[in-house]
Amino acid sequence: MSVQQLTILGATGSIGLSTLDVVRRHSDRYQVFALSAASQWQKLADLCIEFQPTYAVIADPQYLPMLEQALAAHATQVLTGVDGLQQVAAHKDVDTVMAAIVGAAGLLPTLAAAEAGKKVLLANKEALVMAGHLFMQAVHDNGATLLPIDSEHNAIFQCLPAGYTHAAAAGVSKILLTASGGPFRTLALDAFAGVTPDQACAHPNWRMGRKISVDSASMMNKGLELIEACWLFNLTPAQVDVVIHPQSVIHSMVQYVDGSVLAQLGNPDMRTPIAHALAWPERIASGVAPLDIIATARLDFEAPDLARFPCLRLAFEAAGNGCASTVLNAANEVAVEAFLAGKLGFDRIAVLNEHAMQQLVDTTPSSLDQVLRIDREARRIAHQWLDHGRLRGDL
């Protein structure tokens, strides 16, 4: 067994740190080649001192001098900017890239890894929602291996046959994408306007970064995951059912034409899908406690309520619909940032997203430049709506 050289994009985040926790248990299998962060140079420096990577990338250049100084006595070379991220994602010595940057910022480095034919462990769902067609093409054209980290998609991957290409050929009739329902699963519709950022980030089953926590609370996360599933597994939105399952023990299911339903179960801990993808097709210990099925006792299921969670409806409309998912992703990033900054009501996130989708009608983007242009335009429209809303005083 040769040692895998690993780049972790977004090493200081929730997924990045869980990845390093798994790697720490298997130093015979994985060597950290590069670690990256947006601005948290101190946290990145501490990780570099522990893991001694060849490169460290601080995306925001204003923190470069601090990181350089912190690592002056170490062999780790320090890079910055999107160029630096792309360089460590595509470097010839790298085998595996964990794509765990949050949001559209992850697209270019993750794409660089795919274009270099790497084994890409994809947590950064926004990259796929934004540019699914181009990303999947890059994976295909360059012989990259794409392994999903999102727990639902990792579960689906595990429940599909090896060598899967499309649903019909594999006898798959439906994908059942499970959702916890988030912290507001039972909240009355008229209470959504008063939700605070801390309430939205208090997820009942998972500890995650703030952006995905807000997305889980609005169920935009499940919407992004629907679009992600369509790209990863070559599906139409009609082939995916979202099922609310509050315990988050079943991570998703695959229904076959013969009536069989395969599910993947486990404790809600991202180290399971991370360890699965790192070792695939082998298995390694992840540090996750074994599932106690007796203590779990019951598994509940219900249908999602699209009236209380309009972001999920928007995602069903956007999936496979030209540039709509690029627009939805960009508008949602602006909306979540505004909500977290206390500048937008929680119930207005969907209103802003829908506004951007209605403004921007375009054909399926066929080049990276087009995707980036649509992303910029959607953000401009979203910011304009926020500015006007502030004037109207109705945010």
Choose one: 7-15, 23-31, 62-70, 291-299; the region binding ligand NAD (CB under 6 A). 7-15
Identified binder of ligand NAD from the candidate list 5, 12, 19, 326, rule CB under 6 A: 12
- Which one of residues 91, 118, 119, 125 is an interface residue with ligand NAD (CB under 6 A)? 125
Give the span between the Cα atoms of 101 and 23, in whole angstroms.
18
Instruction: Give the sign of the dihedral formed by CA 221, CA 123, CA 209, CA 273.
Output: positive
Torsion, CA 117, CA 123, CA 125, CA 131, rounded to 10: -20
Q: Could you tell me how many residues of this chain bind ligand NAD (CB under 6 A)?
A: 26
- The three-state secondary structure class of 177 is strand
Chain centroid offset of residue 270 CA: 12
Residue from 119, 126, 158, 319 in contact with ligand NAD (CB under 6 A): 126
Which contiguous run of DSSP H or E holds residue 96?
A: strand 96-99
Q: What x/- string results for residues 256 through 275 when contact with ligand NAD is judged by CB under 6 A?
A: --------------x-----
CA distance 223 to 216: 9
Query: What whole-number distance in Å separates Cα of residue 160 and Cα of residue 157?
Result: 5
Q: Is 332 in the site for ligand NAD (CB under 6 A)?
A: no
Piece in contact with Mg ion (CB under 5 A), picked from 74-82, 152-160, 179-187, 315-323:
152-160
**223 near ligand NAD (CB under 6 A):** no
Q: Which amino acid type is present at position 221?
A: N
Between 149 and 159, whose beta carbon lies closer to ligand NAD? 149
Contact in structure between 65 and 42 (CB atoms under 8 Å): no
> Does the protein bind ligand NAD through residue 32 (CB under 6 A)?
no
How many residues touch Mg ion under the rule CB under 5 A: the total is 3
Nearer to ligand NAD, 38 or 131 (CB): 38
Asked if 225 touches ligand NAD (CB under 6 A), the answer is no
DSSP letter string over 52-74?
--SEEEESSGGGHHHHHHHTTTS
Q: Position of tokens 């998609």?
A: 153
Nearer CB in complex with ligand NAD: 130/138: 130
Question: Binds 14, which of Mg ion, ligand NAD, none (CB < 5 to 8 A, cut-off by type)?
Answer: ligand NAD
What Å distances lie between residue 139 and 128, 132, 136, 147, 168, CA to CA?
11, 10, 5, 11, 22
| Binding status of residue 107 toward ligand NAD by CB under 6 A | no
Q: Is 150 in the site for Mg ion (CB under 5 A)?
A: yes
DSSP 247-316: T--EEEEEEETTS-EEEEE--S-THHHHHHHHHTTS----SPPPP-HHHH-----B---TTT-HHHHHHH
Q: Which is nearer to Mg ion, 225 or 377 (CB)?
A: 225
The answer to whether 83 touches 106, Cβ cutoff 8 Å, is no
Q: Looking at beta carbons only, is 91 or 222 nearer to Mg ion? A: 222
Q: Are 364 and 133 in contact (CB under 8 A)?
A: yes
Q: Are 104 and 131 in contact (CB under 8 A)?
A: no
Scan residues 155-214 and list those touching ligand NAD (CB under 6 A): 206, 208-209, 211-212
Nearer to Mg ion, 150 or 377 (CB): 150
For the bound state, the minimum distance from the C-beta of residue 358 to ligand NAD, rounded and expressed in Å, comes to 25
Nearest residue by C-beta to ligand NAD?
13
Query: With CB cut-offs between 5 and 8 Å by kind, which of ligand NAD, Mg ion, none does residue 220 bind?
Result: none
Asked whether position 130 contacts ligand NAD by CB under 6 A, the answer is no
Which 8-state DSSP code applies to residue 11?
T
Q: Using CB distances below 5 to 8 A depending on partner kind, what does residue 100 bind out of Mg ion, ligand NAD, none?
A: ligand NAD
- Give me the residues that bind Mg ion (CB under 5 A), please: 150-152
Q: Which residues bind ligand NAD (CB under 6 A)?
A: 10-16, 37-38, 40, 59, 100-102, 105, 123-126, 150, 206, 208-209, 211-212, 270
